[in-house]
Amino acid sequence: MYKVVLADDETIALEGLRTLTDWEELGFEICGACENGEEALTAVAECSPDLVITDIRMPGIDGLELIRRVRQLEMEQPIFIVLSGYGEFEYARTALRYGVRHYLLKPVVEAEWEKALAAISNELDMRVKQKMQQNMLANRLLPVAIARMLEGQWVEPEEEIAEQMDRLDETVSGWTYIHVDGLKSNITEICRELAGPEGALFIDLPGDQAGLVVESSARAAELARRIYAGLSLSRNGVKGTVSIGPSVQSLRELPVSYMVAAGAAARHYFYSEAGGPIDTSTDARSELNYSLPSAELTEELMSAVERLQEQKASDKLSEMFRLFERNRTAPEVVQMTSIDIMLKSIELVQEFGGTAEQWSDSFEFFKTKPKSLAALEDTLEVLLYSCMEYIRQFKERGSEHPLIRVECFLKDNYFRPLTVKEIAEHFYLNPVYLGQAFIKKNGISILEYIHNLRIEHAKKRLLGTNETVRSIAESVGYVHYHHFLREFEKRTALKPVAYRNQAHSEE
Confidence bin at 37 (pLDDT 50/70/90)? very high
Contact 261, 179 (CB under 8 A): yes
- On the question of pLDDT at 286 being above 80, the answer is no
Residue 353 has phi, psi (to 5 degrees) of 90, 5
CA distance 448 to 433: 17
Fold adopted by 402-505? Arc Repressor Mutant, subunit A (1.10.10)
Predicted confidence (pLDDT) at residue 426 exceeds the cutoff of 80: yes
**pLDDT for the residue 105:** 82
In the sheet with 51-55, reading across from the earlier edge strand, the strands are 28-34, 2-7, 51-55, 79-84, 102-105
Among 156-165, 244-253, 293-302, 440-449, whose mean pLDDT is lowest?
Answer: 156-165
What does the alpha-carbon distance between residue 121 and residue 127 come to, in Å, rounded to a whole number? 10
Q: Is the pLDDT of residue 344 over 70?
A: yes
pLDDT of res. 70: 93
pLDDT at 491: 93
Question: Is the CB of residue 478 less than 8 Å from the CB of residue 484?
Answer: yes
Q: Is the pLDDT of residue 458 over 90?
A: yes
Mean pLDDT along residues 31-48: 93
CA distances in angstroms from 295 to 298, 320, 349, 374, 506, listed in the order given: 5, 11, 20, 22, 47
The DSSP output letter for 251 is: G
Q: Can you tell me the mean pLDDT for 452-480?
A: 93
Helix (H) or strand (E) holding 80: strand 79-84
Q: What is the pLDDT of residue 79?
A: 93
Averaged pLDDT, 159-173: 76
Question: Residue 47 pLDDT more than 90?
Answer: yes
Residue 364 has pLDDT above 70, yes or no: no
Angle at 122 between CA 118 and CA 125, to 5 degrees: 140
The CA–CA distances, whole Å, from 345 to 232, 350, 381, 397 equal: 40, 9, 11, 20
Q: What does DSSP assign to residue 253?
A: G
Does the pLDDT at position 122 exceed 60?
yes
**Residue 196, CB-side half-sphere exposure with 13 Å CA sphere:** 6
Helix axes 159-171, 110-138, angle to 10 degrees: 150
Helix H or strand E encompassing 95: helix 89-97
Q: Is the pLDDT of residue 264 over 80?
A: no
Amino acid identity of residue 140, one-letter, is R
Cβ count near 355 (within 10 Å):
11
Instruction: List pLDDT tens digits, range 60-119.
Output: 888 889 999 998 998 889 999 988 876 656 777 777 778 888 888 888 888 888 889 999
Confidence of residue 314 (pLDDT cuts 50, 70, 90): very high
Determine which helix (DSSP H) or strand (DSSP E) holds 214, and give its type and residue range.
Answer: strand 209-215
Instruction: Give the torsion through C-alpha atoms of 403, 404, 410, 413, to 10 deg.
Output: -120
The DSSP letter of residue 248 is: B
Percentage helix, strand, coil, to 5, in the chain? 60, 10, 25
CB 30 within 8 A of CB 1: no
Q: Global pTM? A: 0.44
Which residues have a Cβ under 8 Å from the Cβ of 281 and sit 6 or more positions away? 244, 246, 247
In the chain, the N- to C-terminal Cα span, in Å, equals 113
How confident is the model over 105-119, as pLDDT tens digits? 888 888 888 889 999
pLDDT surpassing 60 at residue 137: no
Tell me if 198 sits within 8 A of 225, measured CB to CB: no
What is the SS3 assignment for 56?
A: coil
Specify the pLDDT at position 499: 92
CATH of region 2-130, choose from 1.10.150.120, 3.40.50.720, 3.40.50.9100, 3.40.50.2300: 3.40.50.2300
Q: Quote the pLDDT of residue 450.
A: 95
Phi, psi of 64 (to 5 degrees): -70, -40
Q: Which amino acid is present at 188?
A: T
Q: How confident is the model at residue 335 (pLDDT cuts 50, 70, 90)?
A: confident
CATH of domain 139-285: 3.30.70.270
Angle between helices 331-351 and 373-396 (to 10 degrees): 10
Domain edges within the chain:
2-130, 139-285, 295-392, 402-505
